[in-house]
């Protein structure tokens, strides 16, 4: 059986995603679609609009055959670590190719990776600018392009991970269609996830219905609460105020001394918007900060995260009959553990961070996110 892999968030699953997975099967001739999907928090550290089980079911109902959860320590990370963690799982799942959207699929991303290796450390001397900014300056000088668009950045990261880790995957970038990644308004049948989430907030049901499959629409219109950091902020604020600075300093990605600044501002700001605006500096992007805030609420230490990175696993969220057949075909070849049901033993072991993230997400939903949840089984009509 020939499998194609997808790396997704599906926040939420929409018509653009449907086009992507259909195109993936078309260009690769694959029999099976395997999706590695972020859990309940996105790469930017934001809670997803629907939980991972709702999003997995929408994927299975619309053409995906196997949904594996991307562990938190890869899902809530910058592009390079996000890509490496996802490809690691897809390679272990024995997929032959990975298809992803890009703003400029014709670019030679492989060549960009080679160019980065040729850049010398002394070419990055501007300490008031990020590595990404200086790297783009070097690219512009060498080949006349810059990695600015989010999907191009991810495409570069997939190539880099595939080369550096020798996964041997066939990478297939395809042209993104419809609206731009950051568009805030729905303008047709293919809209950005950001625009759809914005329309959910504004209760623009007719626009939403045009841009998403029916099952996603039904979930969105019955949504009682839109998850956001506004609701999580009291937990973050309490942790920052109450926890000793020595404990906060051990938090994953906590820069030296930043815990003091966070604690001081948290004591003064009662809203998340006010808090993050005061914390934001040129040194830290909003995405970096929200990721850090999530790890702070989860009380995730550097040691704990690094241990999780070195102990990957496949948490199976759901499958179709074809997906089940494929899983049976490759199961004995898997290098990493396959988790089909989380029990009391697992949530204290390697799965602990994802378990804690699931419990945190239950602020937004009454549904248990992990303990004793079995994979979704979908029969394709």
Q: What is the pLDDT of residues 184-226, one digit of tens each?
A: 688 889 999 999 999 999 999 999 999 999 999 999 999 989 9
Parallel, antiparallel, or unpaired for β 376-378 and 314-320?
A: parallel
Which residue in 347, 349, 343, 342 sits closest to 375, CA to CA?
342
| Residue bearing the bigger pLDDT, 60 or 177 | 60
Answer whether residue 42 shows pLDDT above 60: yes
Question: Which residues are within 8 A (CB) of 376 and not within 5 positions of it... i.e. 6 or more apart?
Answer: 53, 56, 57, 60, 67, 317, 318, 319
Detail the DSSP E strand segments found in the chain. Answer: 3-8, 32-38, 66-70, 97-102, 170-175, 314-320, 338-339, 376-378
What CA–CA distance (Å, rounded) separates 167 from 165? 6
Q: What is the reported pLDDT for 182?
A: 56
Q: What is the reported pLDDT for 188?
A: 85
What CA–CA distance (Å, rounded) separates 145 from 300? 38
The matching CATH number, chosen from 3.40.50, 3.30.420, 1.20.120, 3.20.20, for 3-104+174-226+308-378 is 3.40.50
Q: Kindly indicate the confidence band of residue 127, based on its pLDDT and cuts at 50, 70 and 90.
A: low
Q: The dihedral of CA 13, 17, 21, 22: what is its sign?
A: positive
What CA–CA distance (Å, rounded) separates 77 from 138? 24
Answer whether residue 12 shows pLDDT above 70: yes
Answer whether residue 121 shows pLDDT above 80: no
Question: Token pair of 342, please?
Answer: 């989380």
Alpha carbon separation from 381 to 30, 63, 217, 320 (Å, rounded):
19, 11, 20, 10
What CA–CA distance (Å, rounded) separates 3 from 90? 10
Q: Kindly indicate the confidence band of residue 294, based on its pLDDT and cuts at 50, 70 and 90.
A: very high
Element (H, E) at 57: helix 52-61
The residues spanned by each domain of the chain are 3-104+174-226+308-378, 229-306
Number of H helices, E strands in the chain: 18, 8
pTM for this model (two decimals): 0.94
* Burial class for 201, CB neighbours closer than 10 Å (0-12, 13-18, 19+): exposed
Q: What is the reported pLDDT for 169?
A: 98
Answer whether residue 283 shows pLDDT above 90: no
Would you call the peptide bond into 12 cis, given omega within 30 degrees of 0 as the criterion? yes
What residues form the annotated binding site for ATP? 7-20, 101, 151, 176
Q: What is the reported pLDDT for 373?
A: 93
Q: What is the reported pLDDT for 186?
A: 87
* Burial class for 331, CB neighbours closer than 10 Å (0-12, 13-18, 19+): exposed
What residues form the annotated binding site? 7-20, 101, 151, 176
What CA–CA distance (Å, rounded) separates 51 from 56? 9
pLDDT average, residue stretch 100-105: 95
Q: What is the reported pLDDT for 178?
A: 61
What CA–CA distance (Å, rounded) separates 86 from 66? 14
């Amino acid at each position: 059986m020939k499998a194609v892999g997808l790396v997704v968030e599906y926040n939420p699953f929409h018509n653009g995603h449907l086009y992507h997975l259909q195109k993936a099967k078309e260009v690769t001739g694959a029999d099976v679609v395997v999706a590695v999907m972020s859990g309940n928090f996105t790469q930017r550290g934001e809670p997803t609009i629907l939980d991972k089980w709702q999003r997995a079911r929408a994927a299975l109902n619309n053409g995906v055959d196997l949904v594996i959860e991307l562990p938190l320590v890869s899902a809530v990370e910058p592009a390079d670590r996000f890509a490496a963690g996802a490809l690691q799982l897809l390679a272990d799942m024995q997929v032959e190719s990975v298809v992803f959207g890009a703003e400029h699929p014709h670019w030679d991303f492989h060549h960009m990776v080679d160019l980065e290796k040729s850049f010398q450390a002394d070419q990055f001397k501007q300490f008031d600018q990020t590595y990404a900014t200086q790297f783009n300056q070097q690219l512009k000088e060498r080949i006349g392009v810059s990695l600015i668009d989010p999907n191009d950045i991810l495409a570069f990261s997939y190539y880099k991970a595939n080369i550096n880790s020798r996964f041997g995957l066939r990478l297939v970038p395809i042209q993104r269609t419809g609206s731009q990644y950051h568009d805030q308004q729905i303008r047709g049948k293919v809209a950005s996830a950001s625009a759809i989430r914005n329309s959910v907030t504004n209760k623009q049901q007719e626009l939403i219905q045009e841009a998403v499959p029916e099952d996603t629409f039904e979930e969105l219109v019955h949504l009682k609460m839109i998850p956001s950091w506004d609701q999580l902020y009291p937990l973050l604020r309490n942790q920052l105020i109450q926890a000793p600075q020595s404990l906060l300093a051990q938090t994953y990605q906590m820069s030296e001394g930043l815990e003091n600044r966070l604690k001081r501002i948290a004591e003064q700001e009662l809203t998340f918007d006010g808090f993050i605006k005061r914390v934001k500096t040129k040194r830290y992007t909003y995405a970096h900060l929200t990721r850090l805030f999530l790890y702070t609420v989860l009380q995730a230490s550097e040691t704990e995260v690094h241990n999780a990175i070195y102990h990957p696993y496949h948490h199976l969220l759901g499958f179709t009959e074809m997906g089940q057949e494929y899983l049976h075909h490759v199961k004995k070849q898997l290098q990493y553990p396959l988790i089909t049901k989380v029990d009391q033993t697992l949530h204290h072991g390697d799965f602990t961070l994802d378990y804690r993230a699931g419990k945190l997400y239950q602020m937004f939903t009454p549904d248990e996110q992990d303990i004793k949840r079995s994979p979704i089984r979908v029969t394709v009509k």
